[in-house]
Amino acid sequence: ANQRVFNFSPGPAVLPLPVLEQVQRDLVSLPGYGMSILEMSHRAQGFLDILAGAKQMLRELLAIPENYHIIFLQGGSRLQFSMVPMNLLRGQSAAADYVITGSWSKMALDEAKREGQVKVTWDGKATNYDRLPTQAEAGLNPDAAFTYLCSNETIQGVQFAEELDTGASPLVIDASSDFLHRPLNFKNIGLVYACAQKNAGPAGVTAVIIRDDLLARSQDSLPGYLNFKNHVKEDSLYNTPPTFAIYLMGLVLRWLKDDVGGLKAMHQRNKDKAKLIYDLIDGSGGYFKGHAQTANRSLMNVTFRLPNEALEKKFCKEGEDRGLDGLKGHRSVGGIRASIYNAMPVAGVEALADFMREFKKNNG
């Protein structure tokens, strides 16, 4: 009854087992501090060390240049849909460019419209968000106040393999569902944000990485919590931060660094894992049909259909019965979605592939 299943949930999602085991070991009394992280003041040296350590490891893993600040916020990625344009668009004369590649960038656009002038430069709706624009198609304007995209659309399962070149316009990336799955190129980046509950930790904390010069755009008329400047100035201690979530994210970062060997190694592992499933889809003679076009397939969220909905339902049910959990696709796309984030072990993906082969044989 206590056995772990393979959890293919889109988030909150699977965490590395060694991280969970360390949390369990250290929960009642964090070695050296005589109390649980859950009980510790956010002003205590113990927590300040944890916060500084998490920031340092994040900076190292992603090779974040010195002129970027790292802050940890609450409110999830959804708050960033508003907070980003509140801070970076209010008072600007130029519009912000939005590239609409799926459900999450569309929702971000709808929030940004409340804050200022926005322009949609590309929208994948015509083909039901099954592909991404090329650099040439994206229609970007180097004078845009910022250029917004979602690096991985969690619902549709389309993912940019590299950053678009936005020239002088600061690139803003919602990396919620593929943060830390590969190294990032900071050349154009103005701001990156990611809620933790998919690839980086538990729900409750959102990492925001922001280029220093952009802070000058935040107006004093903003509510205090919603102003990036306050969080940078107070080093994520403007209010009580989500201490436990930051602690756990720190352990995930440590796992990435020490156990995995960094983000290049993580990227390779992710490519290998995704290939197991995509190859199977491609070799299934059309029994499994991928949603995303081949060039834009996500390494994190594999979306596909079966011949009919009754079979999809059966697939999820039988998967669950054999310990493959959370395979149901998002209601807006239907079908199956296997989320295979960083912490999903190869054995989990192999178990899914075995199940898919068997299911096809029995229901083909």
Segment 11-30, which members bind ligand PMP (CB under 6 A)?
A: 11
Residue 163 interacts with ligand PMP (CB under 6 A): yes or no? no
Catalytic residue among 106, 198, 229, 273: 198
Ordered alpha helix ranges (H), the chain: 17-26, 45-62, 76-88, 103-112, 228-233, 243-254, 263-282, 309-321, 346-363
Tokens of 2: 């206590």
Residue 154: name the closest of 112, 99, 101 by CA.
Answer: 101
CA angle in degrees (0–180, nearest 5) for 81-82-84? 80
Return the number of the residue (70 or 150) whose C-beta is nearest ligand PMP: 150
Catalytic residue among 55, 97, 104, 328: 104
Give strand pairing partners of 71.
208
Site string for ligand PMP, 69-108 (x = CB under 6 A): -------xxx-------------------------x----
Distance between CA atoms of residues 246 and 237, nearest Å: 12
First to last CA, the chain: 32
Tokens of 189: 């980046």
Residue carrying structure tokens 């250029």: 147
Residue 177 interacts with ligand PMP (CB under 6 A): yes or no? yes
Distance between CA atoms of residues 251 and 234, nearest Å: 23
Active site residue 174: yes
Q: CB 98 → ligand PMP: shortest distance, Å?
A: 14
Distance between CA atoms of residues 346 and 340, nearest Å: 9
Among 174, 256, 342, 352, binds ligand PMP (CB under 6 A): 174
Catalytic residue among 174, 178, 229, 255: 174
Return the number of the residue (87 or 177) whose C-beta is nearest ligand PMP: 177
Q: Tell me if 104 is assigned to a ligand binding site.
A: yes
Q: CB 287 → ligand PMP: shortest distance, Å?
A: 28
Q: Tell me if 122 is assigned to a ligand binding site.
A: no
Site string for ligand PMP, 247-286 (x = CB under 6 A): ----------------------------------------
Q: Tell me if 174 is assigned to a ligand binding site.
A: yes
List residues binding ligand PMP (CB under 6 A): 11, 76-78, 104, 150, 154, 174, 176-177, 195
Point out the residues that are catalytic.
Answer: 104, 174, 198
